[in-house]
Structures are given as structure tokens and as C-alpha cells.
Amino acid sequence: MGLVNHTTATWQLLDTKHFLHPFTDHKALHATGSRIIESAEGIYLWDSDGNRILDGMAGLWCVNVGYGRTELAEVAREQMEKLPYYNTFFQTAHPPVIELSELLADVTPDGFNRAFFTNSGSESIDTVVRMARHYWSLLGQPTKQIIISRTNAYHGSTMAGASLCGMPHIHSQGGLPIPGITHIGQPYWYREGGNQSPEDFGRAVAQQLEQKIQELGEHQVAAFIAEPIQGAGGVIIPPTTYWPEITDICRRHQILLVADEVICGFGRTGQWFGADTYKILPDLMPIAKGLSSGYLPIGAVMIADHIANVLIEEGGEFFHGMTYSGHPVACAVSSANIRILRDENIIQQVGNDTGPYLQKKWQKLADHPLVGEARGLGFLGALELVESKSKRKTYDPLGHAGAVCRDAALSNGLIMRAVGDTMIISPPLVMTREQIDELVVLAEQSLDDALTSLRN
Ligand code: PXG
């Protein structure tokens, strides 16, 4: 049982021969070879050469409770022995899916009492698109089909998810976007705010939603979707004026508001959901990642009561679902994960103690000569790398400084992501103050090393 014990070189060779990675330039990868991660504990990873790496990204924004929680493995083992699989189609359910649904109703904002399960964030987004359009059809408004998203949003890799992304390179492959999807601007003040105050800019960019609704006609628009804080786009913290304006516009125009909580959900912002932090009042909330802390693949859509009531009372059959919707093992592990977050007060700790502590230390990195802006909230952070602070001018070509800094971080034993020239972190929520100190020291060292290389 278990894996053979190859050397790094053998793993890398087999990897290049047999595995096509997601979001990867394979030719470039084959020239260098993959980094092979073999084990993890707490907030640290170990690679196949025995190097310890501080995981500043919690995997891919998901390992909220940290690595090595053996009780989650225990729950999975017990559930696999008792009922490894059964479906939730055909008027059937099982205790783990019901228990998780009830727990989710408890931790999500008031007015959310029902969950529809998927296996990933992307599938949750596709579910939202079908559900929102279906909802309006049930209310006798079948022309309300268009979903409005934003430039530089990330909503996944399925056909609808990738179409809702606002990234041109993603749309350039596979015939995207699919019909019925359009985009407005993003609240990225540092890069796009010009001379406006963050508050004025936030309001102005939110008003693009109203303009777009008027341009398309309200009778054609089903929903607006947005991440409370854009994650993969570069941890973009919206100005304080942004969400109140958006919420107001959606209410006035009768279009559904979808808060994509795949990253912000389960404590990342210091409250359970980004919707709690920004008082958003969404109609639908796709979730994934922190739902199981990445221990097993699972996603869901949380449905506000006034939407669920229409789907239930008027709906007939909703022809949508996956073999593994509400998989018993994934549900049991997710329930145990939510109890860990709740009973160990991990989210309160991020909200009241470690989050503010991280932010205070992180903001100080703005004094570094390479950093034009340091921003963040809860356990999310970003640094804008610039050649000139006063002009907000990036190094040429765009993305080079970010790649240099990311590689320097890795040499220093820290995973810090680069989105273009924006360095981002999203660490496990269980980090202690001492570990935060360690992360910030490593980040600062990596900025120093990057600056030295960029100046040579
Ligand atoms: N919505 C949001 C806001 C996300 O961040 C998805 C939906 C899709 O979830 P799945 O589980 O289908 O991946 C995501 C995923 C990155 C990166 O490079 C970000 C994500 C996934 C992979 C890479 O930052 N976010």
C-alpha cells in the first residue's frame, strides 16, 4: 500500500511523461521540472528534497484549518467504512449530507437555509447560472438571462465559470465567453483609480452596473456576480463605498446578487463570509475551498429563502446535478471542518487578533522600495511591486518583477503567489503571531532579494 519512494528526479521524469498540469505551460515546465510536494503539517509543506516551505497560500486559498488535522482523516475513514458512496438523486439522502446542510444553514448569513451540492467552485458557478435563469423563468420572466460579471474576476474553469472570468487570456481558448454573459469594470483603485479618491472611484465603478443594466434593459438581466474581494485577480480590496452601492443597485433593479464566496467564505476575511464583512445581502452564494479546507473536493450553492421558496413551490424538477453531489465522505469531512472552525474559534481569532496583527505587519512592507502599495484584510494580503512609487510605474515587462520575487520567496522557503507584479498571500487561518512574524520576515527578505536581482 502507499506510494513508491522515488527520488525527485524520477518523480519529475514520470510527471513530464504522463501528467498534464492545470494552468501550466508544459514546455516551460518540462525545462525545469515540477516541484514535488510530499507532505505537510500545520502551515508548512515539505518537498521531495526535504525542504520545509511556509505555505503562504493555504494550498490554493483553501486549507483554512491547516494541514495534518488527523480528526478529519478519522472522520473520512469512518464514513468510508459505513457508507462510502450513495447518491442524492431520486428522493434519496443520507445523514452526512443532511447534517452538513443544517450546519451550513447555521453558519451562513440569516435567510440562507438551503444548500445545493457540487464538487468544486466551478461547478457551483455553473449551477448558479442555470439556477438564476431558471428562477426568473419560473416567475414568468424568461428573458432575464444575462449574467453580469467584472473584468479581472475569477470564477472557475468550466464553460460558464471561465466565461464569467474577466480575463482575456482565459476567453482566448475554447470559444468563450458563452452567450448571455457580459462584464463591467472592477474596483481596483491602485491601478485604475487615477486621481479619484478611493471612495469616489468605488462609487463610480459600482455605477457601471446600473449603466449596464439600463443599456441591456432590466428585463434581460438575471444576475450580477462578484467576489466580495477579488482573489486570483490580485487580492483587490474594494473601496468602502463599493458594496453598499452595488447592493442598492441590485435591489432597485430586481436582479439577483451573487456573492462568489469560494475564496472569501469560511473565515478568510475574519468573519464567516465576505457577505458578513461587507453586509452584502446576496441571493445566491457559491462556496467551495474552505468548506472542506481542501481535505476533499466539494462545493455548494447556498440559496436564500426567497429564491428557494420559488424553486420548491413553483419549480417542478430542476434538471441539474452530479453523481457526487453531496458525496457522503466529503460532506462528513466538511461538517467536521466547520466544527473545527467554529469550536476552536479560529474565525474570531482571525477577525479580532491574528488578522489585525498580520495586517499591521503587512502594511509596513509598503515602506520597502519595491512596494507601491500593501493592502489586505483578514488573512488576505497583496503587495504591488513598482519601479517608481510616485508614478505607480511597474517594471518592464509586466510580470517580470513578480516572477523574480516569487522565485526569491521560494528560495527563502515561502510560497507567495505572483499575479503579474502583485504578490499575494492567503495563509492558513491557524497561523500564530510567531508564524506571522516568520512569514513577514521571509516576505521582506524576498523583496530585498528581488530588488537586488532587478537592479543588476
Ligand atoms: N470562484 C472563485 C472566486 C475562485 O477563486 C472558483 C470560483 C472555482 O473553483 P474551483 O474549485 O473550480 O477551482 C475559484 C477558484 C489562482 C487560482 O491561481 C484560484 C482558483 C483556482 C485555481 C487557481 O489563484 N480559484
Residue 73: beta bridge partners? none
- The CATH number corresponding to 71-343 among 3.40.190.10, 2.120.10.30, 3.40.640.10, 3.20.20.540 equals 3.40.640.10
Burial class (CB in 10 A: 0-12, 13-18, 19+), 39: exposed
Pick the CATH number of 35-68+345-455 from 3.90.1150.10, 1.20.1600.10, 3.40.50.410, 1.10.3720.10: 3.90.1150.10
Q: Which residues of the chain have pLDDT under 50?
A: none
Compute the distance from residue 419 Cα to the ligand 1 centre, in Å.
Answer: 13
Q: Where do you find CATH 3.90.1150.10 in the chain?
A: 35-68+345-455
Give start-end residues of each CATH 3.40.640.10 domain in the chain. 71-343
CB 100 within 8 A of CB 335: yes
pLDDT at residue 315, rounded to an integer: 86
Ligand 1 pocket test: pick from 289, 406, 415, 417 the residue with the most ligand atoms within 8 Å of its Cβ.
289
Q: How far is residue 63's CA from residue 290's CA, in Å, rounded to a whole number?
A: 6
CB 36, CB 8: distance < 8 Å: yes
pLDDT at 1 (0 to 100): 53
Please report the sign of the dihedral spanned by the C-alpha atoms of residue 186, residue 190, residue 196, residue 197.
positive
Pairing of strands 284-287, 44-47: unpaired
Peptide bond between residue 177 and the one before it cis (omega within 30 degrees of 0): yes
- Rounded Cα–Cα distance for residues 75 and 293 (Å): 14
Pocket residues: Cβ below 6 A from ligand 1: 60, 120-122, 125, 154-156, 161, 227, 231-232, 260, 262-263, 288
Alpha-carbon gap, residue 128 to 123, rounded angstroms: 9
**pLDDT at position 258:** 98
CA of 262 to the centre of ligand 1 (A): 7
Q: Would the pTM count as exceeding 0.95? A: yes
pLDDT of amino acid 5: 85
**pLDDT at res. 4:** 77
Phi-psi region at 176: left, alpha or beta (left = phi > 0; alpha = psi -120 to 50): beta
